Amino acid sequence: MDKLSFIDQKDFEKPIYINDMSGYNYFPTPWREISMHEFNHSWMWCIETRQIIDKEVIGTGCMLQVYIMYFHNEALAVSRPSKWHTGDDEFGVHGIIYEDKPRYFKIGCEHDYTHCNPHMFDHRYECKKCGHKYAVDSSG
Ligand SMILES: [Zn+2]
């Protein structure tokens, strides 16, 4: 089972697909806001979590508390709701009603992979823009 670890950004080695880790209260670059659909689709194809960082970021229109999940091939971020009140929800259940929805972000290179196949079952991919590499053994 994967273990989640929370660390300081200064202790985290910059992944190859990030240009700049930026300041403490900023997203690493490049980044862009994405839809929930794109977030879910990206997450499906992310390779192995490396690190999860919990931080406050500015530069998105307002201060957001986000989890940034660093994978081997890209990073994804989701904001936590920050505004709420107590009341009855649409099912009549009394509790916390969130006023803001999560926002989703993709961080890192928009990869453009080349594929080579030096041996049977050995598929190697390398991004033309950032140099990120991965290999797939298709024999199994
Ligand atoms: Zn890339």
CA of 96 to the centre of ligand 1 (A): 41
Looking at the structure, tell me whether residues 104 and 131 fall in a common domain. no
CA of 95 to the centre of ligand 1 (A): 44
pTM exceeding 0.85: no
pLDDT of residue 83 exceeding 60, the answer is: yes
Q: Using the 8-state DSSP alphabet, how is residue 87 labeled? A: E
Residue 101 lies in a domain: yes
pLDDT band at 8 (very low <50, low <70, confident <90, very high): low
Looking at the structure, tell me whether residues 39 and 97 fall in a common domain. yes
pLDDT band at 16 (very low <50, low <70, confident <90, very high): very high
Q: What is the CA radius of gyration of the chain?
A: 18
Determine the Cα–Cα distance for residues 119 and 126; give it in Å rounded to an integer: 16
Counting the structural domains of the chain, the total is 2
Looking at the structure, tell me whether residues 68 and 127 fall in a common domain. no
Determine the Cα–Cα distance for residues 23 and 10; give it in Å rounded to an integer: 10
140 vs 8, which has greater pLDDT?
Answer: 140
Surrounding ion ligand 1 within 5 Å at CB are: 109, 111, 127, 129-130, 132
Range of the domain at 122: 110-140
